[in-house]
């Protein structure tokens, strides 16, 4: 049987996980990535749920465990900075990973694939495959195109134009602090949140999210919140912050005949969803399974979407920003253990 060819656009978690799974089924992979290097390490999150199970089946857990950040309790604080709940640390079986940790493990697992550092300018899809026009003037044909190019997906725009709606626009800034608290700390307000998590190198990662201009000065956004220590804001080197905007994209379809969206381009799960990497790995594995089961690509993609949409809906419900009173009901208070 001739080797099937897939173009995977995007070399983040979703794209690399898809490339790895398809290579296991003897697909020829061409990877497109505009960025010359991956620099966003992101904020540590526990790899749980379907992503943990998929990573185990893909043989990634040993390498992921080796990069795991500290597992620790998370102290939930209110607007005044007073602790009111404690979320227990993840199981010892669950790695706590920054996005960069996951990307590096996946890159090593994928091995040598053809990588094109260019843009995708256009797609011409038919019942047999997709002709792709690249920004360097080249054109090529593929059995399948996978759009794993993030929340601002160019593949989504090529296939669906503007036929989707945005929701929950937000801004994020991630960075590093010096030695921080021994526990992770989180503050969830209606339109703002702050999270701090210790790292294995002795530093701490910090994540700020808010509704508003991504270029805003953090002192202007968070300076009026009594519970945010002034020292925290002054420790953050603004020149080293990684800033980005995001939103949920709601589409009626993630897949057409020979083109499929995976990751944030299809289901960006909210302003802070701890299952982002998990959903990407699980979705990639299930996509490979679908393409193994069904002989027709369109049929495989339709089945995959029908199976995976409920998983994403569940994660989105879990990732909703909760008001302080709702967080208190959601997490069993253990304030007697919080100093």
Q: Is the pLDDT of residue 325 over 70?
A: no
Three-state DSSP at 98 gives coil
Q: Is 116 helix (H, G, I), strand (E, B) or coil?
A: strand
Residue 279 CA to residue 51 CA, distance in Å, equals 6
Read off the tokens for 114.
């053809």
pLDDT of 117 > 70? The answer is yes
Residue with the bigger pLDDT between 11 and 181: it is: 11
Please list, in sequence order, all residues whose beta carbon lies within 8 angstroms of the beta carbon of residue 208, skipping any fewer than 6 positions away: 172, 173, 174, 192, 193, 194, 218, 221, 222
Section 234-244 average pLDDT: 83
Q: Which of the four pLDDT bands, split at 50, 70 and 90, describes residue 6?
A: very high
Predicted TM-score (pTM) of the model is 0.88
Over residues 71-91, mean pLDDT: 90
> For residue 180, is pLDDT > 70?
no
Determine the pLDDT at residue 177: 86
How distant, in Å, are the alpha carbons of 68, 237, 248 from that of 71?
A: 8, 25, 29
Please check the confidence at residue 281 and state whether its pLDDT lies above 90. Answer: yes
- Residue 328 predicted with pLDDT over 80: no
Q: Two tokens at 324?
A: 């302080």
pLDDT digits (tens, 9 = 90+) for 18-45: 999 999 999 999 999 887 665 567 899 9
With cut-offs at 50, 70 and 90, classify the pLDDT of residue 331: very low
For residues 324 and 188, is the Cβ–Cβ distance under 8 A? yes
d(CA 97, CA 93): 13
| Residue 141 parent element (H or E) | strand 139-142
Q: What pLDDT is recorded for position 323?
A: 39
**Nearest Cα residue to 47 out of 308, 281, 287, 289:** 281
Query: What pLDDT is attached to residue 127?
Result: 84
pLDDT of residue 167: 54
Q: Mean pLDDT across the chain, nearest whole number?
A: 85
Q: Which residue has the tokens 């921080």?
A: 180
- Report the alpha-carbon distance of residue 114 to residue 219 in Å, rounded: 45
What is the model's pLDDT at position 17?
A: 98
What is the C-alpha separation between 114 and 53, in angstroms, rounded?
Answer: 28
**Over the stretch 215-233, which tens digit does the pLDDT of each residue have?**
999 999 999 998 888 788 8
Instruction: Tell me the average pLDDT across 183-211.
Output: 90
In this prediction, residue 239 carries a pLDDT of 76
Beta carbons within 10 angstroms of residue 322's beta carbon: 18
C-alpha dist (Å) from residue 185 to 55, 73, 134, 320: 27, 8, 45, 18
**Band of the pLDDT at 163, cuts 50, 70, 90?**
low
Higher local confidence (pLDDT), 229 or 118: 118
């Amino acid at each position: 049987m001739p080797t099937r060819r897939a173009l995977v656009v995007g070399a983040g978690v979703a794209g690399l996980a898809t490339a790895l799974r398809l290579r296991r089924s003897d697909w020829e992979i061409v990877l497109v990535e505009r960025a010359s290097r991956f620099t966003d390490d992101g904020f540590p999150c526990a790899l749980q749920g379907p992503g943990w199970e998929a990573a185990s089946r893909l043989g990634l857990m040993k390498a992921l465990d080796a990069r795991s950040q500290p597992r620790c309790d998370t102290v939930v604080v209110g607007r005044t900075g007073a602790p009111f709940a404690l979320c227990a640390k993840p199981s010892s079986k669950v790695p706590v990973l920054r996005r960069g940790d996951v990307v590096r493990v996946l890159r090593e697992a994928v091995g040598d694939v053809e990588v094109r550092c260019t843009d995708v300018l256009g797609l011409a899809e038919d019942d047999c495959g997709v002709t792709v026009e690249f920004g360097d003037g080249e054109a090529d044909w593929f059995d399948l195109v996978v759009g794993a190019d993030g929340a601002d997906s160019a593949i989504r725009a090529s296939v669906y134009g503007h036929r989707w709606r945005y929701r929950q626009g937000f801004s994020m800034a991630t960075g590093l602090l010096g030695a921080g608290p021994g526990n992770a700390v989180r503050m969830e307000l209606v339109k703002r949140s702050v999270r701090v998590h210790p790292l294995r190198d002795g530093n701490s990662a910090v994540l700020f999210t808010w509704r508003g201009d991504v270029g805003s000065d953090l002192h202007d956004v968070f300076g009026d919140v009594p519970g945010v220590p002034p020292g925290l804001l002054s420790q953050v080197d603004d020149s080293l912050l990684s800033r980005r905007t995001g939103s949920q994209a709601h589409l009626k379809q993630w897949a057409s005949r020979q083109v499929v969206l995976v990751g944030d381009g299809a289901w960006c799960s909210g302003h802070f969803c701890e299952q982002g990497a998990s959903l990407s790995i699980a979705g990639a594995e299930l996509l490979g399974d679908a393409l193994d089961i069904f002989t027709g690509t369109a049929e495989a993609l339709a089945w995959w979407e029908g199976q995976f949409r409920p998983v994403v809906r569940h994660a989105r419900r879990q990732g909703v920003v909760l008001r302080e009173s709702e967080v208190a009901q959601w997490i069993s208070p253990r304030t007697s253990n919080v100093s």
